[in-house]
Chains A and B, each alone.
Chain A
Amino acid sequence: MAIYTAFPHDRPTQQILCIICYESVSLSQATAGSLHADGSQAFACDRHFYTRETWITAWAMFDAEQDAMTHEPQCLESAV
């Protein structure tokens, strides 16, 4: 697999943080997932992609956490 950032520069060596093992890997060794609560792109190592159980559970938990972070301020506001 290889992820490139398109235009103006290709940066396959750009380092990203895997949301599953928290290791820093290059884009070329990553697979894209959903977004962080701040809107930035989240990635995981390619190697996790082929471990079905880890892949599903880890991303499900990540999405739930990010959603909770996104909705937290609104909940506080409504509580006030």
Chain B
Amino acid sequence: MSAAPASRLPDWFIDIRHFKSQEQLSLDLTRHLPRRIVVGAAAVITDRPTVLLSVVKKRWSTLVREVERQYASTLQQAKKQSLERELHRLQSYGFAVISKRTTATQVLFSTPEALAPEDRFSTIYLTIPLSHERLIPLMTHLRSGGFLVSYIGWPGVVDSPLPK
């Protein structure tokens, strides 16, 4: 069975991801991001954008080293070429908080309210609980067929605090 054709894509996908600590959240996010930036710009919604950006950037460097290691250890030409291409991609992406964003920014770390009205993303990572009233405006920034990746359970439902 193949994936649904593009014309039959739902309005959005909601991916509820589970984690046990803030460390696991940033690890999951850093592994998930490379696949989604290929599709288009991504936003990471957090109440501490600068802190999370710093953590993700560190993890990103580790990821790049891992791909370099895989590249160096493979002898298969096709695999080597794919990994080389992956390396260039990973090293080319721009990460920023709202105040330092440029036209080269593909991953934006922000609070929900700081996004510009015209901002549109293929993926929005939600790392903080948002009330329904704060979630609805955020969803206007998600492109059709895009992913809301939630680390806080079902979005719009505020209940238990996040794990430390």
Looking at the assembled complex, report how far the CB atom of B29 sits from the nearest CB atom of chain A, in whole angstroms: 12
Name the A residues within 8 Å of B34 (CB-CB): 56, 59
Task: Assess A5 versus B85: contact at CB under 8 Å? Given A40-B5, A61-B78.
Answer: no
Q: What are the residues of chain A within 8 A of B16 when measuring CB–CB? A: 1-4
Which residues of chain B have C-beta atoms less than 8 A from A17's C-beta?
1-3
B79 touching A40, Cβ below 8 Å: no
Contact B82 A60, beta carbon cutoff 8 Å: yes
Main secondary structure of the interface of A (DSSP, over half): mixed
A-B contact count (CB 8 A): 108
B21-48, CB < 8 A from A: 31-32, 34-36, 38-39
Residues of B within 8 A of A63 (CB): 38, 82, 85-86
Binary per-residue interface labels of chain B (46-90) against chain A in the complex, 1 for a CB within 8 Å, 0 otherwise: 000000000000000001001100100010001101110110000
Question: Which chain B residues have a beta carbon within 8 Å of chain A's beta carbons?
Answer: 1-6, 9-18, 31-32, 34-36, 38-39, 63, 66-67, 70, 74, 78-79, 81-83, 85-86, 145, 147-148
